[in-house]
């Protein structure tokens, strides 16, 4: 279903006073989405609930970013990332996502909690360029080595700057 949407160049811009909140289960199926999520994604609540969160994944996003994201949060840590999302109508919207695990009283992860804020425009510009290069790398490497190749690219970039991923992302 998600692949049938043709991306357009229409951009929706988030507002300073809002954030998108959604929750998923361990498999990434949506269990909750707030009204801002409904508004920006363009899907109804019924359409969202129970669906994989990647329903809003934009084809411009490199796969390595989501690999990093899932590796981080399933390890119990928070993950921050700039993400370009695809709305139902083909338009896109940039968010600064902060995803944290949800814990039950025994400390076991039961799902994930994602808050997506209005991103810094400078960061969007930079990360848009980084993602473009990573995507190119993924396409060049082929499906099987795509993630490894673009991850290497990102790690090289970070080591060049002498920063950890978090330091780099949070420095904007």
Q: Which residues bind another protein (CB under 8 A)?
A: 16-19, 21, 23, 31-32, 34-35, 45-46, 49, 78, 96, 98, 100, 102, 110, 113, 115, 117-118, 166-167, 170-171
Measured in degrees and rounded to the nearest 5, phi and psi for residue 22 equal -145, 160
- Determine the number of helices (DSSP H) and then strands (DSSP E) in the chain: 6, 5
> In the bound complex, what is the minimum distance in angstroms from residue 23's beta carbon to another protein?
7
> In the bound complex, what is the minimum distance in angstroms from residue 62's beta carbon to another protein?
24
Measured in degrees and rounded to the nearest 5, phi and psi for residue 54 equal -75, 10
> In the bound complex, what is the minimum distance in angstroms from residue 33's beta carbon to another protein?
8
- Give the Cα separation of 87 and 58 in Å (integer): 8
> In the bound complex, what is the minimum distance in angstroms from residue 123's beta carbon to another protein?
12
**Which residue lies nearer to another protein by CB, 115 or 148?**
115
Per-residue DSSP letter, 120: P
**Which residue lies nearer to another protein by CB, 102 or 157?**
102
> In the bound complex, what is the minimum distance in angstroms from residue 115's beta carbon to another protein?
5
Closest CA to 101 of 112, 90, 92: 112
**Which residue lies nearer to another protein by CB, 107 or 142?**
107
Closest CA to 154 of 170, 172, 130, 135: 130
- Give the Cα separation of 146 and 63 in Å (integer): 8
Closest CA to 100 of 77, 119, 82: 77
- Give the Cα separation of 131 and 25 in Å (integer): 27
């Amino acid at each position: 279903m998600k692949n049938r949407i043709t991306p357009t160049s229409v951009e929706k811009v988030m507002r300073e006073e809002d954030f998108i909140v959604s929750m998923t289960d361990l498999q990434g199926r949506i269990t909750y989405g707030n009204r801002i999520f409904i508004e920006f994604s363009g899907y109804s609540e019924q359409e969202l609930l129970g669906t994989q969160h990647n329903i809003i994944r934009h084809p411009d996003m490199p796969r390595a970013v989501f690999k990093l994201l899932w590796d981080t949060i399933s390890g119990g840590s928070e993950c921050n990332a700039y993400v370009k999302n695809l709305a139902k109508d083909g338009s896109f919207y940039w968010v600064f996502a902060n995803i944290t695990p949800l814990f039950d009283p025994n400390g076991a992860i039961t799902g994930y909690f994602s808050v997506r804020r209005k991103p810094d425009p400078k960061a969007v510009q930079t990360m848009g360029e980084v993602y473009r290069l990573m995507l190119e790398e993924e396409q060049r490497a082929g499906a099987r080595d795509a993630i490894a190749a673009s991850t290497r690219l990102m790690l090289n970039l970070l080591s060049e700057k002498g920063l950890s991923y978090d330091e780099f992302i949070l420095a904007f």
